[in-house]
C-alpha cells in the first residue's frame, strides 16, 4: 500500500558496529539526503562516518519525530532498531550489509532507487505485529519486553532439558521438556523457529507459533495459536536457572516458578521496502521457486 509518512523531513540512521561497508555508503547517502532537504540524525555507531550530523543515543533517536529511519546492517541491527522505534511508529528502511537479511532486504545497489520511491510516495509499507512479554515472580511483574521476532525460554549454563508448563488462555496445554521453547510472531517464523522445524507464516497472519527446540517427546510439535490468545509459560528448573531471550538480544535469567506471559503487543513495526510480495523475499532468501 502507499506510504503514510510524517510530513517532517528528518531521517535517522542506525548502523551495525564496525561494519566497513558503512564507511563506503555514508558519503553518498548523506549527499542524497541533504540534496533532498532532509535533516539527519545518527546513532553513535554511525557518527564516525557522519561527522556533520547530530549524534544521539539510539533510544533518543527512536523517540524523535522522523519521516523514517535507515538501518545499515543485518537483521540483528534491524531488530534492535525496530524495538527502539516501535513506540513512535517510525517506518524503517532496512539495507542489507549481512548475509541473509529477511528484514534488511534492500541490497546496497538498490538503496538510492528505494529512497527515490519513498520520496515519490510509491514505496511499499508493511506493518508487522510484535509480541509483548511479561515476567512475573511471586505474583509481581519484574520485567517486560517487546519483541518483533520471538521470545525464547532456554537453557541456562547447565546443559539439561528445560521443563515448562504451557497454558493458552489459562487452559493447560502440555508440559514441555526441551532445550528451549520459542514463541514467535509471523515475522519471527522465518528466524529461530524455522531453524527448529516450525512453519513459515505470512507476515499478515494473525497468529503466534510455539516451537519446542529438541523436544524430549516426538509428539511435541510446533503449535499455531491465534494472536488474541495469552500464552503462559511456567518455568520449572529446580535449583537451576533458565534464560529468557528477546529477539536473541535482550533478556534475563529466569528461575523456578517464574511465569512468562506472551500476548500481542500494542506496538507495531513498519517496514518500507521494494519487494512486491512476501514470496519474492522467500524466492530471494530461501531460493524458493528455482529450477
Full DSSP string of 121-144: T-SEEEEEEEEEEEEEETTEEEEE
More confidently predicted of 273 and 197: 197
**Is 114 found in the same domain as 43?**
yes
Q: Which domain, by its residues, includes 65?
A: 10-123+274-285
Distance CA 145, CA 157 (A): 22
With 0-12 CB in 10 A as exposed, 13-18 as middle and 19+ as buried, what is 234? middle
pLDDT of residue 216: 80
What is the domain count for the chain?
2
Domain CATH number, residue 256? 2.60.200.30
- Name which of 40-49, 92-101, 157-166, 179-188 the model is least confident about: 157-166
SS3 200: coil
The winner for highest mean pLDDT among 30-34, 73-77, 152-156, 269-273 is 30-34
1 in a structural domain: no
Q: Is residue 101 part of a domain?
A: yes
- DSSP-based three-state secondary structure for 152: strand
pTM across the whole model: 0.89
Same domain, 99 and 44: yes
- Pair (152, 231) in one structural domain: yes
Separation of alpha carbons 40 and 56, rounded Å: 11
203 and 229 both lie in a single domain: yes
Active site residues: 75
Q: Based on the fold, state whether residues 145 and 201 are members of the same structural domain.
A: yes
C-alpha–C-alpha distance, residues 179 and 200, integer Å:
21
> Would you state the pLDDT for residue 1?
42
Residues 29 and 94 in one domain: yes
Amino acid at each position: 500500500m502507499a506510504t503514510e509518512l510524517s510530513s517532517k523531513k528528518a531521517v535517522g540512521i542506525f548502523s551495525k558496529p564496525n561494519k566497513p561497508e558503512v564507511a563506503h555508503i555514508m558519503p553518498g547517502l548523506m549527499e542524497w539526503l541533504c540534496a533532498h532537504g532532509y535533516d539527519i540524525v545518527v546513532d553513535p555507531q554511525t557518527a564516525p562516518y557522519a561527522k556533520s550530523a547530530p549524534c544521539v543515543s539510539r533510544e533518543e533517536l527512536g523517540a524523535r519525530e522522523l519521516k523514517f529511519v535507515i538501518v545499515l546492517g543485518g537483521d540483528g541491527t534491524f531488530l534492535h532498531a525496530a524495538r527502539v522505534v516501535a513506540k513512535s511508529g517510525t517506518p524503517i528502511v532496512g539495507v542489507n550489509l549481512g548475509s541473509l537479511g529477511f528484514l534488511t532486504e534492500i541490497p546496497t545497489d538498490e538503496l538510492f532507487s528505494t529512497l527515490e520511491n519513498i520520496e515519490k510516495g510509491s514505496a511499499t509499507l508493511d506493518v508487522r505485529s510484535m509480541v509483548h512479554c511479561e515476567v512475573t515472580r511471586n505474583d509481581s511483574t519484574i520485567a517486560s519486553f517487546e519483541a518483533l521476532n520471538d521470545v525464547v525460554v532456554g537453557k541456562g549454563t547447565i546443559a539439561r532439558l528445560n521443563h515448562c508448563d504451557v497454558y493458552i488462555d489459562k487452559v493447560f496445554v502440555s508440559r514441555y521438556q526441551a532445550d528451549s521453547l520459542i514463541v514467535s510472531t509471523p515475522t519471527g517464523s522465518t528466524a529461530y523457529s524455522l531453524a527448529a522445524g516450525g512453519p513459515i507464516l505470512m507476515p499478515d497472519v494473525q497468529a503466534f507459533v510455539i516451537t519446542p527446540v529438541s523436544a524430549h517427546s516426538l509428539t511435541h510439535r510446533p503449535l499455531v495459536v491465534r494472536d488474541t490468545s495469552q500464552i503462559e509459560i511456567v518455568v520449572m528448573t529446580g535449583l537451576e536457572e533458565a534464560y529468557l531471550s528477546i529477539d536473541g538480544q535482550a533478556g534475563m535469567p529466569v528461575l523456578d516458578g517464574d511465569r512468562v506471559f506472551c500476548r500481542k503487543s500494542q506496538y507495531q513495526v513498519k517496514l518500507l521496502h521494494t519487494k512486491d510480495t512476501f514470496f519474492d523475499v522467500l524466492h530471494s532468501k530461501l531460493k524458493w521457486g528455482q529450477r
